[in-house]
């Protein structure tokens, strides 16, 4: 089962029609390079590099980049795309690789976490200026007013324009993997489904996981 999820009224008022997606895969094993994985990567990379597909992916990433810039941040997707075009998908481990592949194949922003490390239900919300998130690697994210954030019942676990927290980071022994995908204004929910499907199917095929579900939620607005 997914963690219980809701969009706050503040989020829906600020970002009407802007979606958010979840994909949960259970029983996973986080292999570094399982048999057949390199071939799978190359197949997806060839598909992504096709001229029309790449043009559409690039356009979506430009939309994310403009949104990030509106809050004074650089979007990491821009550099990830350049590296992927020239060098292919990076190699870390299965969970992290699936995350990058989802982003690049769909041109969307995806995070990956350990579902068991959340404290209770999740809420997509907007931040007040000065709120803090304990980011990966000891970093501290200080939110700007109206930044999009994901909260559990205890604290902020991800700031869209700055990154995810350390607490819920996927680890080598993570078996319940939760991918989540943010839209921004101008990004349709169907692209979230496309990217999350890449991640989920990759974890199921090469990590022995079971796809519990993929769901995209749409903000109804105020």
Q: How many whole angstroms separate alpha carbon 92 and alpha carbon 171? A: 12
pLDDT value of residue 144: 96
**pLDDT of 129-150, one tens digit each?**
999 999 998 899 999 999 999 9
Q: How many whole angstroms separate alpha carbon 192 and alpha carbon 157? A: 20
pLDDT value of residue 88: 95
pLDDT value at 1 more than 80? no
**φ, ψ dihedrals at 16, nearest 5°:** -60, 135
Question: 181: number of CA atoms within 13 Å, CB side?
Answer: 37
For the segment 46-53, the average pLDDT, to the nearest whole number, is 96
Burial class of residue 97 (count of CB atoms within 10 Å of its CB; 0-12, 13-18, 19+): buried
Domains of the chain: 5-217 (3.50.40.10)
pLDDT value of residue 221: 64
**pLDDT of 167-193, one tens digit each?**
999 999 999 999 999 999 999 999 999
For the segment 2-14, the average pLDDT, to the nearest whole number, is 94
**pLDDT of 68-118, one tens digit each?**
999 999 999 999 999 999 999 989 999 999 999 999 999 999 999 999 999
Is residue 99 within 8 A of residue 169, CB to CB? The reply is: no
Q: How many whole angstroms separate alpha carbon 77 and alpha carbon 83? A: 10
pLDDT value of residue 31: 84
pLDDT value at 222 more than 60? no
pTM for this predicted structure = 0.95
pLDDT value at 126 more than 80? yes
């Amino acid at each position: 089962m997914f963690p219980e999820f809701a969009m706050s009224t503040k989020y829906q008022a600020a970002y009407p029609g802007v979606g958010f997606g979840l994909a949960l895969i259970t029983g996973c094993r986080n292999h570094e390079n399982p048999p057949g994985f390199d071939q799978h990567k190359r197949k997806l990379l060839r598909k992504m590099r096709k001229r029309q597909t790449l043009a559409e992916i690039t356009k979506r990433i430009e939309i994310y980049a403009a949104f990030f810039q509106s809050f004074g941040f650089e979007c990491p997707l821009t550099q990830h795309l350049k590296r992927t075009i020239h060098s292919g998908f990076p190699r870390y481990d299965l969970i992290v690789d699936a995350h990058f592949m989802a982003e690049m194949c769909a041109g969307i922003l995806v995070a990956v976490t350990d579902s068991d490390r959340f404290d209770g239900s999740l809420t997509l919300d907007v931040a007040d200026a000065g709120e803090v998130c304990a980011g990966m690697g000891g970093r501290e994210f200080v939110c700007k007013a109206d930044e999009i954030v994901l909260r559990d019942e205890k604290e902020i676990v991800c700031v869209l324009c700055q990154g995810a927290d350390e607490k819920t980071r996927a680890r080598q022994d993570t078996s319940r993997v939760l991918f989540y995908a943010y839209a921004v204004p101008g990004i349709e929910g169907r692209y979230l489904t496309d990217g999350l499907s890449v991640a989920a199917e990759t974890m199921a095929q090469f990590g022995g996981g079971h796809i519990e579900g993929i769901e995209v939620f749409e903000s109804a607005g105020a």
